Amino acid sequence: MNIPETFGENVFNDQVQKETLPSEVYKLLRATIESGKTLDVSIAGTVASAMKKWAVSKGATHYTHWFQPLTGLTAEKHDSFIEPEGDKAIMRLTGKSLIVGEPDASSFPSGGSRATYMARGYTAWDPTSPAFVKEGTLYIPTVFVSYTGETLDKKSPLLRSMTAIDKQAKRVLKLFGKECKKVSTTVGPEQEYFLVDEEEYLKRKDLRLCGRTLFGAKASRGQELEDHYFGMLKPRVVSYMQDLDKELWSYGIFSKTKHNEVAPAQHEMAPIFGTTNVAVDNNMLTMEIMKKVALKHHLVCLLHEKPFEGVNGSGKHNNWSMSTDDGYNLLNPGENPENNTLFKLVLAAVIKSVDDYQGILRASVASAGNDHRLGADEAPPAIVSVYLGDQLGALVDSIVNDKDYVPKTAQKGSIGVPESPIFPKDATDRNRTSPFAFTGNKFEFRMLGSQANVADANIVLNTIVADAFEGFADELEKAKDVEKASNEIIKRELKAHYRIIFNEDGYGPAWEPEAARRGLLNNKTTADAVPVCFEDKNIEVFVRQGVYTKEEAIARADIQLENYIKIINIEAKTMVEMVRRDILPAVSDFVAELCTNVAAKKAVCEELPCIAEKETISALAQLNDEVVGLTNKLEGALADVDLADVVPASQAMAHVILPIMDDIRRRVDKMETMVAADYWPYPTYFDLLYSVNN
């Protein structure tokens, strides 16, 4: 396989555009993509026809507008290229069909009663993300808006947030003599996932309906030997990963790194970063391809944040930076950050915005699945804080405390063996416990869940940083001496937002009380995290930056809560069904068998000891009764929740329903360890986590 040759073979990328479009049209299209010039619609017909011709040569018969509604997934409706000409069929894609589509909007989430959205929705071509051919269809990335112009997807606000940061960052750069055509945000999302054998998966109702196990006693071996992380890849996993890379590369996705993660059966893929907009589309496609390739290998790829209790969950580290069209990375500290005023100003903007808007940043990663992860095991806690590392930490301390900065120079490393090479060491160690860590020339936002659409977090990040830039630019444009005024702003903001910086262990028990003392938010559940989005300050920042209207901001928070409620409702109902139809009968059968055995023993000889059976019978009978009682309680509590009233309903889910579910689970997991293996109705954690053995 010649990778450079086949890379991106399914994508209508720059090279294909150049080859298939007249040069004038090509230039106009690239101007839109690269420097944000408004698309000249007169070229749509020509682009459409070239795209169709190319797609047909790749075996496509259909096209679809591909969009990202508020379900968190992608959506597509396929139309064939076929059009009648006399009684013959020709293949055609018109400029209009490329630019606009009209799916019915009424079946997608729109924010319920508080919004006034109409049923009519439009998809509109997003030329900044390239079209591609997949499974016989030409996929055209689009945005999705309503008849009245409200955004109904994740892509339009993302693009708006990128426009906002482009505009404000350019103002700041200009003051430092760095003019450029465009500032783009860049993202590299590291995707974690689990692989389990398909046969075992199909036997678990909870995995199939909820994406996570609702029951399951811990396997005797979890991740305590620390042997899975970066461990040798099993042949079946190797073969999966090879196939996955091949597929991803054909769609122009720069899959770069692959390795085993901490938990048994857990793995990761990291791509090379790209422009946020394309990175988001690529990540959505990556998740889909991961699942599809798995099925070919009789595996199932689990993208849920916490498929298994007691071992690590899956996240998606969002590496984020900003760079100009001529390649200048705004978060590159350079050799001497202490003298790099522009860098310090950018750093101050990020720190200020993360502190000011920690609530909506936290909310942007909140979901029913991710609630199980934040604060547990490997994941960062639910408290947002910023890690700067030794070097920048010392720099910021010196500014805040008016002290001289003693640069910490990078050292050279050696293992003390003459044959072994001397290697350069970073100026700073890593901190894996921080939710928002500076990692050399980018920030790594680590709170995202593995199945999230990364658009959510990036919409917020881009918006709040754009807002900080705007404030700084307003001030600096009036200043006589930009350098001096910048240093004043840097000092003022770092002092004001110093509390958000935390360079120590984010998992340690000392951090929670310390964070509380600093007045940082600690919203542990989605139900508690999302309502901050209804606060004026948190709505206004979106409105100011032209990312959401007030109605859109409210509608989105409503939908997020609605989604949370629905997921927990499904989980609770699945739990009830599993208990009543599978678990209670299985336990009862096993107890009956033990009773029969006791009776049989007694029939042979009254004195035969039966302690083993009797102890088990009595413990199981007791637990089974408790489980029935709790299941009745769960059903009663569910019936009391008014699902339509999102704020109280989400509170009930978080603080009433989930705790009862937890009580049921504890007992069922205990019973699992006491019932004979043959009787237990589901594959165990051992069966699932160690199902890929070869």
Binding site for ligand ADP (CB under 6 A): 186-188, 190, 270-273, 319-321, 329, 441-442
Asked whether position 372 contacts Mg ion by CB under 5 A, the answer is no
Task: Tell me which of Mg ion, ligand ADP, none is bound by residue 329, counting a contact when its beta carbon lies within the kind-specific cut-off of 5 to 8 angstroms.
Answer: ligand ADP
Contact 418, 295 (CB under 8 A): no
C-beta of 406: minimal distance to Mg ion in Å? Answer: 28
Strands (E), 37-80: 62-67, 75-80
Q: Taking CB within 5 to 8 Å according to partner kind, which of ligand ADP, Mg ion, none is near residue 469?
A: none
Kindly tell me which of 271 and 683 has the beta carbon lying closer to Mg ion.
271
C-alpha span between 651 and 653 (Å, rounded): 5
> Which one of Mg ion, ligand ADP, none interacts with residue 590, CB within 5 to 8 A by kind?
none
> E strands within 22-168?
62-67, 75-80, 82-85, 88-91, 100-101, 121-125, 132-134, 137-146
Q: Which is nearer to ligand ADP, 258 or 408 (CB)?
A: 258
Nearest residue (CB) to Mg ion, 115 versus 331: 331
Question: Which residue number, 190 or 470, has a Cβ lying nearer to ligand ADP?
Answer: 190
Shortest distance in whole angstroms from residue 238 CB to ligand ADP: 20
List the x/- string, 277-316, binding to Mg ion by CB under 5 A: ----------------------------------------
> Considering the complex, what minimum distance in angstroms separates the CB of residue 319 from ligand ADP?
3
CB 223 within 8 A of CB 312: yes
Min. distance of Cβ 190 from Mg ion in angstroms? 5
Q: Which does 362 bind (CB under 5 to 8 A by kind): ligand ADP, Mg ion, none?
A: none
* Angle, alpha carbons 639-642-646 (nearest 5°): 140
Residues 514, 554: Cα–Cα separation, whole Å: 32
State the minimum distance, in angstroms, from the CB of residue 278 to ligand ADP: 12
Least gap, CB of 319 to Mg ion (angstroms): 7
3-class DSSP state for residue 622? helix
Q: Does 442 bind Mg ion (CB under 5 A)?
A: no
Binding-site partner at residue 273 among ligand ADP, Mg ion, none, CB < 5 to 8 Å by type: ligand ADP
Cα dihedral value 438, 440, 443, 446, nearest 10 = -70
- DSSP structure class, residue 679: G
β-strands 183-197, 266-271 pairing: antiparallel
Q: List the structure tokens of 16.
A: 């294909």
Tokens of 160: 């708006």
- CB of 273: closest distance to ligand ADP in angstroms? 3
- Choose the contact partner of 522 out of Mg ion, ligand ADP, none; CB within 5 to 8 A by kind: none
Tokens 């705007």 — which residue?
A: 470
Which CB atom, from 430 or from 550, has the smaller least distance to ligand ADP?
430
d(CA 320, CA 48): 33
Name the residue nearer to ligand ADP (CB basis): 332 or 398. Answer: 332
Q: What is the smallest separation between the CB atom of 387 and ligand ADP, expressed in angstroms?
A: 13
Structure tokens at 621: 């009978």
In the complex with ligand ADP, the residue whose CB is nearer, 329 or 340, is: 329
Q: How many residues bind Mg ion (CB under 5 A)?
A: 1
Nearer to ligand ADP among residue 69 and residue 188 (C-beta): 188
Shortest Cβ 191–ligand ADP spacing (Å): 10
What is d(CA 685, CA 215) in angstroms, rounded to the nearest whole number? Answer: 9
Q: Give me the least distance between CB of 256 and Mg ion, in Å please.
A: 12
Between 65 and 267, CB nearer to Mg ion? 267
The CA distance from 150 to 146, in Å, is 5
Taking the complex as a whole, the smallest distance from the CB of residue 423 to ligand ADP amounts, in Å, to 15
Among 564, 537, 506, CA closest to 383: 506
**Interaction with Mg ion in 583-602: which residues (CB under 5 A)?**
none
For residues 238 and 546, give the distance between their C-alpha atoms in angstroms, rounded to a whole number: 46
Q: Which DSSP letter does residue 422 get? A: P
Indicate whether 317 belongs to the interface with Mg ion (CB under 5 A).
Answer: yes
In terms of DSSP bridges, do strands 62-67 and 137-146 run parallel, antiparallel, or are they unpaired?
parallel
> How many C-beta atoms lie closer than 10 Å to residue 597's C-beta?
14
Complex with Mg ion: residue 54 or 443, whichever CB lies closer: 443
CB of 332 to ligand ADP, least distance (A): 8
Are the C-beta atoms of residues 267 and 194 closer than 8 Å to each other?
A: yes
Q: Please identify, using beta-carbon distances, which residue of 439 and 526 lies nearer to Mg ion.
A: 439
> Within a 10 A sphere around the Cβ of 38, how many other Cβ atoms?
7
Binding site partner of 442, from Mg ion, ligand ADP, none, Cβ cut-off 5-8 A by kind:
ligand ADP
Nearer to ligand ADP, 101 or 188 (CB): 188
The entry of ligand ADP, Mg ion, none that residue 251 binds, CB within 5 to 8 Å by partner kind? none
Contact criterion met (CB below 8 Å) for 328 and 334: no
C-alpha span between 212 and 575 (Å, rounded): 11
Which one, of 684, 470, 675, 490, lies nearest residue 593 by Cα? 675
Task: Tell me which residue has its CB nearest to ligand ADP.
Answer: 188
- Binding to Mg ion (CB under 5 A) within 102-131 occurs at none
| Interaction partner, residue 306 (Mg ion, ligand ADP, none; CB < 5-8 Å by kind) | none
Give the other-Cβ count within 10 Å of 272's Cβ: 11
Q: Which is nearer to Mg ion, 216 or 449 (CB)?
A: 449
Taking the complex as a whole, the smallest distance from the CB of residue 630 to Mg ion amounts, in Å, to: 41
Q: What whole-number distance in Å separates Cα of residue 632 and Cα of residue 575?
A: 12
Buried b (16+ CB within 10 A) or exposed e, 126-140: bbbbbbbbbeebbbb
Residues 539-558 that bind Mg ion (CB under 5 A): none
188 binds, among Mg ion, ligand ADP, none (CB under 5 to 8 A by kind): ligand ADP
By CB under 5 A, name the binding residues for Mg ion.
Answer: 317
